[in-house]
Amino acid sequence: MRMIGLALGATLAIFAAAAPAWAEDFPWCVEVDVFTKNCAFANYEECVAVAKNAASPATGVGRCIRNPAYQPPPAVAKSAKPAAAKSSNNRR
Protein backbone atom coordinates (compact mmCIF):
# COMPACT_ATOMS: atom_id res chain seq x y z
CA MET A 1 0.00 0.00 0.00
CA ARG A 2 2.85 2.34 0.81
CA MET A 3 4.43 1.66 -2.63
CA ILE A 4 1.19 2.58 -4.39
CA GLY A 5 1.11 5.90 -2.53
CA LEU A 6 4.72 6.63 -3.46
CA ALA A 7 4.13 5.70 -7.10
CA LEU A 8 1.01 7.85 -7.25
CA GLY A 9 2.85 10.78 -5.64
CA ALA A 10 5.77 10.45 -8.06
CA THR A 11 3.41 10.31 -11.04
CA LEU A 12 1.56 13.42 -9.90
CA ALA A 13 4.86 15.26 -9.36
CA ILE A 14 5.99 14.41 -12.90
CA PHE A 15 2.74 15.65 -14.45
CA ALA A 16 2.77 18.83 -12.36
CA ALA A 17 6.34 19.60 -13.43
CA ALA A 18 5.61 18.87 -17.10
CA ALA A 19 2.61 21.21 -17.31
CA PRO A 20 3.50 24.72 -18.46
CA ALA A 21 2.99 27.47 -15.93
CA TRP A 22 1.54 29.75 -18.64
CA ALA A 23 0.93 29.70 -22.33
CA GLU A 24 1.89 32.51 -24.64
CA ASP A 25 -0.93 33.48 -26.95
CA PHE A 26 -0.36 34.67 -30.48
CA PRO A 27 -2.82 36.55 -32.69
CA TRP A 28 -2.68 34.30 -35.79
CA CYS A 29 -3.52 30.62 -36.32
CA VAL A 30 -3.10 28.16 -39.18
CA GLU A 31 -6.30 26.18 -39.41
CA VAL A 32 -5.90 22.94 -41.31
CA ASP A 33 -9.33 21.49 -40.58
CA VAL A 34 -12.01 21.80 -37.94
CA PHE A 35 -9.92 19.78 -35.45
CA THR A 36 -6.42 21.07 -36.23
CA LYS A 37 -5.34 24.59 -35.40
CA ASN A 38 -1.85 25.96 -34.65
CA CYS A 39 -1.91 29.40 -33.00
CA ALA A 40 1.81 30.15 -32.85
CA PHE A 41 2.20 33.09 -35.20
CA ALA A 42 2.93 36.68 -34.24
CA ASN A 43 2.07 38.12 -37.65
CA TYR A 44 0.08 37.27 -40.74
CA GLU A 45 3.14 36.77 -42.96
CA GLU A 46 4.52 34.00 -40.71
CA CYS A 47 1.11 32.35 -40.70
CA VAL A 48 0.78 32.41 -44.50
CA ALA A 49 4.27 30.96 -44.95
CA VAL A 50 3.34 27.93 -42.85
CA ALA A 51 -0.23 27.64 -44.16
CA LYS A 52 1.07 27.18 -47.73
CA ASN A 53 2.76 23.97 -46.61
CA ALA A 54 -0.03 22.67 -44.35
CA ALA A 55 -2.02 19.99 -46.15
CA SER A 56 -5.65 19.35 -45.27
CA PRO A 57 -7.55 16.28 -46.47
CA ALA A 58 -10.75 18.34 -46.65
CA THR A 59 -9.60 21.61 -48.21
CA GLY A 60 -6.14 20.82 -49.53
CA VAL A 61 -4.36 23.71 -47.79
CA GLY A 62 -4.28 25.43 -44.45
CA ARG A 63 -5.65 28.91 -43.96
CA CYS A 64 -4.80 31.75 -41.62
CA ILE A 65 -7.38 32.96 -39.15
CA ARG A 66 -7.29 35.33 -36.20
CA ASN A 67 -6.89 33.53 -32.88
CA PRO A 68 -10.28 33.85 -31.16
CA ALA A 69 -8.67 33.35 -27.73
CA TYR A 70 -5.95 35.99 -28.21
CA GLN A 71 -5.97 38.84 -25.70
CA PRO A 72 -3.50 41.60 -26.57
CA PRO A 73 -1.33 42.78 -23.70
CA PRO A 74 -2.56 45.90 -21.93
CA ALA A 75 -1.25 49.13 -23.38
CA VAL A 76 1.47 50.79 -21.39
CA ALA A 77 0.46 54.29 -20.37
CA LYS A 78 2.80 56.89 -21.76
CA SER A 79 4.12 59.22 -19.13
CA ALA A 80 3.81 62.89 -19.81
CA LYS A 81 7.04 64.64 -20.62
CA PRO A 82 8.07 67.16 -18.00
CA ALA A 83 7.41 70.73 -19.02
CA ALA A 84 10.43 72.52 -20.40
CA ALA A 85 11.90 74.90 -17.90
CA LYS A 86 11.46 78.53 -18.82
CA SER A 87 14.76 80.20 -19.35
CA SER A 88 15.33 83.68 -18.16
CA ASN A 89 16.76 85.49 -21.13
CA ASN A 90 16.63 89.02 -19.91
CA ARG A 91 18.71 90.93 -22.39
CA ARG A 92 19.22 94.57 -21.77
Residue 45 has pLDDT above 80, yes or no: yes
In the prediction, which pLDDT does 49 show? 93
Q: In Å, how far are 4, 14, 17, 60, 72 from 10, measured between CA atoms?
A: 10, 6, 11, 44, 37
Residue 79 lies in a domain: no
Q: Does residue 88 sit within a domain? A: no
Is 60 inside any structural domain? yes
* Residue 48, in any domain of the structure: yes
Residue 34 lies inside a defined structural domain of this protein? yes
CA 86 to chain centre: 47
Global pTM reads: 0.53
Residue 66's domain comprises 23-71
Is residue 39 in a domain? yes
In the prediction, which pLDDT does 61 show? 80
**Structural domains counted in the chain:** 1
> Is residue 50 in a domain?
yes
